[in-house]
Amino acid sequence: MSSDGFDTYGNPPQYGQPGPDGEPTGYGQPGPYGQPGPYGQYARGGRGTNSLAIASLCLGIGQVVASILAGIPAIVLGFVALHQIRQTGEDGRGMAIAGIVLGFISIIVAALLIIFVEAIIHGLANNSATF
């Protein structure tokens, strides 16, 4: 190396551990961690969401289409999910509660609808008899 820091061919100095012949190898010290995989490292962040809580919420929302047929399973799955969440510490408590609430709403709406229809039928039957 010359006094200006360049080697005899005009290349800048290379840093790192010297090789077997005393010349720098051009590679620095390896880092404390290995190379990441081709897709990077994936770590599962925290707890997972309870599957039954997700199903309860989906059925609770689906009760708009299927009425009581989806409302009752939403309630059952919601309560089972709450029990599992309490035991395992998983996420999804809010989803389970929302599924339960929506399920109860569907049952109440279905009951009110049945009462309303019965009242209309009963009213029409009484009115038609007077004519």
Which DSSP string corresponds to the chain? --TTS--TTSPPP--SSB-TTSSB-S--PPPSS----TT------SPPBPHHHHHHHHHHHHHHHHTHHHHHHHHHHHHHHHHHHHHH--B-HHHHHHHHHHHHHHHHHHHHHHHHHHHHHHHHHHHHHH-
- Residue 16 buriedness (CB in 10 A; 0-12 / 13-18 / 19+): exposed
Arithmetic mean of pLDDT over the chain: 80
Q: Do residues 119 and 97 lie in contact, with contact meaning Cβ atoms separated by under 8 Å?
A: no
Check residue 44 and give its pLDDT.
56
CA dist 112 and 63 (Å) reads 15
CA dist 23 and 1 (Å) reads 10
Tracing tokens 């809010």 back to the chain, one arrives at 94
The half-sphere exposure of 54 on its side-chain side, counting CA atoms within 13 A, is 6
Which of the four pLDDT bands, split at 50, 70 and 90, describes residue 101? very high
Check residue 88 and give its pLDDT.
93
Q: Give tens-digit pLDDT for 10-44.
A: 776 666 556 666 665 555 555 566 555 566 555 55
| Nearest CA-CA partner of 70 in 55, 81, 60 | 60
